[in-house]
Amino acid sequence: MDKSKLLSLRESIKVNNKAFKLLFHEYPQMIISRIIYVIWVALTPYVEIYCSAALINEIATNRDKDRLIYLAIVALSSITIISLVTYILARWRDSVCSGMYTKVQAIFTKKLLNMDFIKIDDSDTHQLISTIHQNSNGGGWGLYQVIGTYERLIESILSLFCGITLTITLFTNMVPEGKGWLTYLNSPIFIAIIIFIMLLTTILSPMIINKADSYYALISEEHNAGNRLFGFFGYLGARKKEAMDVRIYEQNKICEKYNTDKYGAFCSKGYFARYSRMVIGWLYILSSAISSLLQLFIYMFVCLKCYGGAFGIGLVTQYIASISRLSNNLSSLILYVGAMRNNAPFLKLVFDLLDMPNEMEQGDLNIEKGINYEIEFKNVSFKYPHSDNYVLKDINLKFNPFEKMAIVGENGSGKTTFIKLLCRLYDPTDGEILLNGVNIKKYDYHQYMDLFSVVFQDFKLLSFQLGENVSTAINYDHDLVIDSLTKAGFKNRLDTFENGLDTYLYKDISEKGINVSGGEAQKIAIARALYKKTAFIILDEPTAALDPLAEEEIYSKFKEIVGDKTAIYISHRLSSCRFCQDIVVFHDGKIIQRGNHNELLDDENGKYHELWTAQAQYYNN
């Protein structure tokens, strides 16, 4: 972040307040528990200060036995009650706030899940998400920091008020006449000078710390870059995928170069070390020195006034304790206002993401359940954002209910893009897509999305239990999950699992988890698509990682697996789709042929024939 990106104080407070309101809106109990705790912790020390001062004063002056007992009981019982309540409040806060970091992150997840897909797919959004993530992980900047900052601000403001209340009498209690030069301490000018020095040192010290910390904010990009390098190269040998290559080619030597030398932000010649040795280090020393100077002034002033007879010895402890708290809290106040300002540009980035509007037209027509659905592409053309090239050109295609259709074509011919338009992840640039004769933009977006199950090429199974993976729910219909797994051809493997559907996939959560092969994972992904009772099911080359024969086996059985759903399967391997009666050939964003395998193959000048001949040699067909 360069210096010019720092916001004005007013803007900084505004963006911090906005973040605080958002956090409060999302997690009110969490924020309330933290604030109540902070208020309590800010106020209670003054009770102790007041009680001990009263006790010492009594010992030093009247020594009235009954009053001493009374004061001791008040002091002890209030300290006991305070500790008890502090403990209870801390427990409440900790239980309400467990997983707080993840909860804050969930705000982003919620946004991303509800955002127009077109924006998620955009490289600028990716860059923004990645920067926010790195700012948060690397320097602790962003939304999460706001909670701590507000806690400290509230604590400082309250403590300041209490400190001022307990300190006022230091200036109103006068050294009696006849105490020589000590009576000068009563002079308002002298008092003003002391307050001025106190304020100056109290303000100066945190200002210096803020200045020092602002250097960290200024090098946040180097910090993030350093983190990225460390995250990638620091654990290279430990990651399964790369471990073998790293060992065989001894790539660790290159890694060391990136984490040390001039590339490593954290090495001894890096930015952080340089700044710590020089400007940041010296600023911290200066700040400590100034704070110590303040302590010296307070001690001298309070002790001399007491020595002169302005007040009893008990009040010395009260004044010293409350002034040093007062000055610490004034420092904190300035420090955290500074922290607000340093964090503001990072919060602005957060809101650039969170406030990103959804621009996709969202209709409100309901989609009737249990009827037949017919979808038609009418003169549909499409180009990706920031691109001038049409990826799909003038597509006209109709799916009738219960039909099975295969889409084939070379890589890059537009097959996946076609599916993205069908599922309304994107809207066409030109033309329209109709559901039962009505433009799909007119329907409720979520109801429309619910018509489809898609198994994408790079589908992901999570390390949950098998049943949870298939149903994508915690409570699910066991029979339906087993039925879906059976249809997807996973039943034999399932029968070998001791814990049935409760078996964990992979070993991340449970040591007893099972590792599934690529083919097995694919069957589970198909079962997941079948479990979701949708009208349409789409397989977008989820089998790309499998060998052609394994893919063909799955695709040839797909008709019986999907039953009466309208199904579309996509592959660049023609052999997998040849059993389908309706094959659509995509080339360069256009539909160039349509028919069954034999019809298409008969056209010797057609693309299908060309692709088939080229691929046949690999499959021995």
Please report, as ranges, the residues that interact with ligand ADP according to CB under 6 A. Answer: 121, 384, 387, 391, 409, 411-417
Residue closer to ligand ADP, measured from CB, 206 or 409: 409
Q: Edge-to-edge strands of the sheet including 590-595?
A: 452-455, 536-540, 566-571, 404-408, 582-587, 590-595
Residue closer to ligand ADP, measured from CB, 203 or 425: 425
CB of 388 to ligand ADP, least distance (A): 11
Which of these, 594, 527, 563, 533, lies nearest to 404 by C-alpha position?
Answer: 563
CB of 117 to ligand ADP, least distance (A): 10
CB of 326 to ligand ADP, least distance (A): 58
Residue closer to ligand ADP, measured from CB, 391 or 580: 391
CB of 411 to ligand ADP, least distance (A): 4
CB of 387 to ligand ADP, least distance (A): 5
CB of 86 to ligand ADP, least distance (A): 54
Q: How many CA atoms lie within 13 A of 464 on its CB side?
A: 14
Residue closer to ligand ADP, measured from CB, 103 or 594: 594
First to last CA, the chain: 60
Q: What would the two tokens of residue 304 be?
A: 């001399």
Residue closer to ligand ADP, measured from CB, 572 or 578: 572
Q: What would the two tokens of residue 602 be?
A: 């008969």
CB of 275 to ligand ADP, least distance (A): 40
Full DSSP string of 146-175: HHHHHHHHHHHHHHHHHHHHHHHHHHHSPP
417 has which bridge partners? none
Residue closer to ligand ADP, measured from CB, 339 or 380: 380
Name the packing angle between helices 252-259 and 220-233 (round to 10°).
160
Exposed, middle or buried, 467 (CB in 10 Å: 0-12/13-18/19+)?
Answer: buried
- Residue ranges of alpha helices (H) inside 355-440 are 415-422
CB of 417 to ligand ADP, least distance (A): 3
Distance CA 288, CA 279 (A): 15
Residue closer to ligand ADP, measured from CB, 387 or 475: 387
CB of 429 to ligand ADP, least distance (A): 12
Residue closer to ligand ADP, measured from CB, 333 or 454: 454
Distance CA 507, CA 510 (A): 5
CB 397, CB 154: distance < 8 Å: no
Residue closer to ligand ADP, measured from CB, 482 or 568: 568
Q: What would the two tokens of residue 321 be?
A: 């304790």
Exposed, middle or buried, 583 (CB in 10 Å: 0-12/13-18/19+)?
Answer: buried
Residue closer to ligand ADP, measured from CB, 307 or 456: 456
| Residue 217 region by backbone torsions, left for phi larger than 0, else alpha for psi between -120 and 50, else beta | alpha
Residue closer to ligand ADP, measured from CB, 224 or 413: 413
Residue closer to ligand ADP, measured from CB, 356 or 516: 356
Q: Map tokens 């979520």 to a residue.
A: 446
φ, ψ (nearest 5 deg) of residue 558: -65, -30
Distances (CA, A) of 514 to 203, 403, 505, 529: 60, 36, 5, 21
Distances (CA, A) of 465 to 20, 108, 184, 475, 506: 37, 26, 79, 12, 9
CB 414, CB 427: distance < 8 Å: no
Residue closer to ligand ADP, measured from CB, 58 or 551: 551
CB 313, CB 331: distance < 8 Å: no
CB of 409 to ligand ADP, least distance (A): 6
Dihedral sign of CA atoms 406, 584, 536, 572 in order: positive
Residue closer to ligand ADP, measured from CB, 321 or 391: 391
Q: Map tokens 């955002």 to a residue.
A: 115
CB of 381 to ligand ADP, least distance (A): 13
Q: Helix, strand or coil for residue 107?
A: helix
CB 478, CB 533: distance < 8 Å: no
CB of 132 to ligand ADP, least distance (A): 21
CB of 549 to ligand ADP, least distance (A): 22
CB of 416 to ligand ADP, least distance (A): 3
